[in-house]
């Protein structure tokens, strides 16, 4: 049994904390909202982010960051754009022998860094070497309900990856290891941008042909950025690449796909986001991935069009026309 602190009580953080508590670990879940902490203590339900799931009686709750950070394992699951802010508040409380796990999926807007590089800049070198990164095709609600799922954990240190694999693996949550930290992170982040595009296609009334083409060509763009960042191309054929991409582009529980669908129906982004409680990471990741591709000199036509739709108010139908009328070329260029 491990003592585990979980920072971030959104649907994914809550689901992972619940899984770990059900497995028998001593888990405390931190939430920013003090009133939510009190309600979870009383009802063992996260009524804001995972309302349909009764949480394990072994799971405890806190609004005290130092208390949560000083445990054997620290699981970080905040929205990616506030990872730096939260980690900077707890770094002095993290044990020297702790294992640190990031399960956030995104690219920081201001720096264009994946979460592993954010951690690298904030943690002592010895602690950074004990970090790992969890990703894969998982909807929080389905994991919380115990439906069979598979994920991948990446770490520079194989021993750390195997420790995390053992901590999380259950009879319904299978964990694989990988040493491609950059590839795992970029797969989990960039797929959200393509999922927004998939939702737009659904909202415009396009069918399965369109969706299949978008997923396949979107994967090609993800892989291009990944290789330019030093990732392994084969990672994008795995759970954190193709697996997560297919799930997020097709599943009704996908927040990013849902936002895209509303955009395709003609609603404005500000209006859509105002109606949401949870974060659709793809909106901000579109900005950072577009800027990252420009910086790297990588061709990403779908991401370019998503940037124009979200940040330049481009008409989605015009974006589709431009994509279809691009210069003809070989599939593998």
At the topology level, CATH places domain 3-179 in Rossmann fold (3.40.50)
- What CATH code is assigned to 182-324? 1.10.1040.10
Selection from 29, 63, 58 nearest residue 46 by Cα:
29
What order do you get walking across the sheet with 3-7 strand by strand? 60-62, 26-30, 3-7, 73-76, 99-102, 131-135, 149-154, 173-178
Residues of the chain with CATH 1.10.1040.10: 182-324
| pLDDT tens for the 333 residues of the chain, in order | 899 999 999 999 999 999 999 999 999 999 999 999 999 999 999 999 999 999 999 999 999 999 999 999 999 999 999 999 999 999 999 999 999 999 999 999 999 999 999 999 999 999 999 999 999 999 999 999 999 999 999 999 999 999 999 999 999 999 999 999 999 999 999 999 999 999 999 999 999 999 999 999 999 999 999 999 999 999 999 999 999 999 999 999 999 999 999 999 999 999 999 988 777 889 999 999 999 999 999 999 999 999 999 999 999 999 999 999 999 999 986
Which residues are known to be catalytic? 191
H helix and E strand count, the chain: 16, 8
Q: What DSSP assignment string belongs to 138-188?
A: --HHHHHTT--EEEEEE-SSHHHHHHHHHHH--SSEEEEEES-HHHHHHHH
Residues of the chain with CATH 3.40.50.720: 3-179
């Amino acid at each position: 049994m491990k003592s585990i602190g979980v920072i971030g009580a959104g649907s994914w953080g809550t689901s992972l904390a619940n899984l770990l508590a059900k497995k028998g670990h001593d888990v405390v879940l931190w939430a920013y909202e003090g009133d939510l902490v009190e309600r979870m203590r009383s009802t063992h339900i996260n009524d804001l982010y995972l309302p349909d799931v009764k949480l394990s009686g072994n799971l405890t709750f806190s609004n005290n960051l130092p208390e949560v950070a000083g445990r054997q394992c620290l699981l970080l699951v905040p929205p990616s754009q506030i990872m730096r802010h939260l980690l900077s508040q707890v770094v002095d409380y993290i044990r020297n022998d702790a294992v640190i796990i990031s399960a956030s999926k995104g690219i920081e807007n201001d720096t264009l860094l994946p979460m592993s590089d954010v951690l690298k800049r904030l943690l002592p070198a010895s602690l950074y070497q004990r970090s790992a990164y969890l990703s894969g095709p998982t909807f929080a609600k389905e994991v919380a309900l115990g439906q069979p799922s598979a994920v991948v954990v990446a770490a520079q240190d194989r021993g750390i990856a195997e420790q995390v694999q053992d901590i999380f693996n259950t009879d319904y949550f299978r964990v694989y290891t990988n040493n491609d930290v950059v590839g795992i992170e970029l797969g989990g982040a960039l797929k959200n941008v393509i999922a927004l595009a998939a939702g737009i296609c659904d909202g415009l009334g396009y069918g399965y042909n369109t969706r299949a083409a978008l997923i396949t060509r979107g994967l090609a763009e993800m892989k291009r950025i990944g290789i330019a960042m030093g990732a392994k191309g084969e990672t994008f054929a795995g759970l954190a690449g193709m697996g997560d991409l297919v799930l997020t582009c097709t599943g009704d529980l996908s927040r990013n796909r849902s936002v895209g669908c509303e955009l395709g129906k003609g609603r404005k982004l500000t209006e859509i986001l105002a109606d949401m409680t949870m974060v659709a990471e793809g909106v901000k990741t579109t900005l950072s991935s577009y800027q990252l591709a420009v910086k790297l000199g990588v061709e990403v036509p779908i991401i370019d069009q998503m940037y124009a739709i979200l940040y330049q108010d481009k008409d989605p139908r015009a974006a589709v026309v431009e994509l279809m009328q691009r210069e003809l070329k070989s599939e593998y260029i």
